[in-house]
């Protein structure tokens, strides 16, 4: 399973960072993500720092749905996790399948994103400017690439850090807090039953 080598930062100057991204990589792609996170009835996934998510993406190119599973983080400093993700044809069907397997929805929220895909140092990178309405419009910048193994994670993160430095992102603004934790702690998003109580209590990150 490939590792999502990612760093995330709070953005203080949204317009300035957006201008820099557009100058380097073009206008980007504006999309809205609707994320539904699932957990086992005993909170066994999130309690072990794992994630099961169904994401529906809407943008100018149409609508697509992705099923994602993330293992526990393998690097505490960045929060990077092994990730398996695949596109699914029928959003309603995949929700039914996940529920039928015994998982329960625990949190739903939206992310308003502008994605910039590019290549650097032989790696495919994705920079995403993320606005979360549930957090009062707080904006973050995610930069990610894939690492084939833990041994490759360090070099992959070095490329990511290099871009963040070029964009003027201060290291003090980096965060490993999960969006699920932040949204749940804010009292926003859509929460469900006892799973909502577990998420509201906070998690790792």
pLDDT exceeds 60 at position 195: no
- Quick check: 198 pLDDT over 70? no
**Res 44: pLDDT:** 95
Q: pLDDT by residue (tens digit) across 129-186?
A: 999 999 999 999 999 999 999 999 999 999 999 999 999 998 999 999 999 999 988 8
pLDDT tens readout for residues 91-135? 999 999 999 999 999 999 999 999 999 999 999 999 999 999 999
**N-terminal to C-terminal alpha carbon distance within the chain:** 21
pLDDT bracket for residue 190 (50, 70, 90): confident
Integer Cα distance of 147 and 164 in angstroms: 18
pLDDT for res 187: 81
CB neighbours of 85 closer than 8 A, spacing ≥ 6? 66, 67, 68, 69
At residue 204, does pLDDT exceed 70?
no
The C-alpha atoms of residue 38 and residue 41 are separated, in whole angstroms, by 9
Q: How many CB atoms lie within 10 A of CB 13?
A: 13
What is the rounded average pLDDT for all residues in the chain? 92
Domains (range + CATH), the chain: 3-197 (2.40.320.10)
Residue % of the chain over a pLDDT of 70: 94
């Amino acid at each position: 399973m490939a590792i999502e080598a990612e760093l995330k930062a709070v953005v203080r100057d949204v317009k300035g960072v957006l201008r820099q991204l557009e100058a380097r990589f073009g206008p980007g792609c504006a999309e809205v993500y609707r994320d539904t996170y699932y957990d086992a009835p005993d909170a066994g996934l999130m309690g072990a720092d794992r994630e099961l998510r169904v994401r529906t993406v809407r943008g100018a190119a149409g609508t697509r749905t992705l099923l994602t599973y993330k293992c526990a983080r393998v690097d505490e400093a960045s929060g990077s996790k092994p990730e398996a993700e695949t596109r699914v044809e029928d959003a309603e069907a995949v929700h039914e399948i996940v529920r039928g397997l015994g998982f329960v929805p625990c949190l739903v929220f939206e992310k308003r994103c502008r994605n910039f895909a590019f290549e650097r140092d032989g790696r495919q990178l994705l920079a995403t400017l993320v606005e979360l309405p549930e957090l009062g419009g707080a904006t973050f910048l995610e930069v990610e690439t894939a690492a084939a193994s833990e041994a490759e994670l360090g070099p992959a993160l070095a490329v990511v850090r290099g871009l963040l430095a070029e964009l003027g992102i201060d290291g003090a603004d980096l965060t490993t807090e999960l969006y699920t934790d932040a949204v749940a702690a804010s009292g926003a998003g859509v929460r469900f039953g006892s799973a909502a109580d577990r998420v509201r209590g906070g998690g790792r990150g």
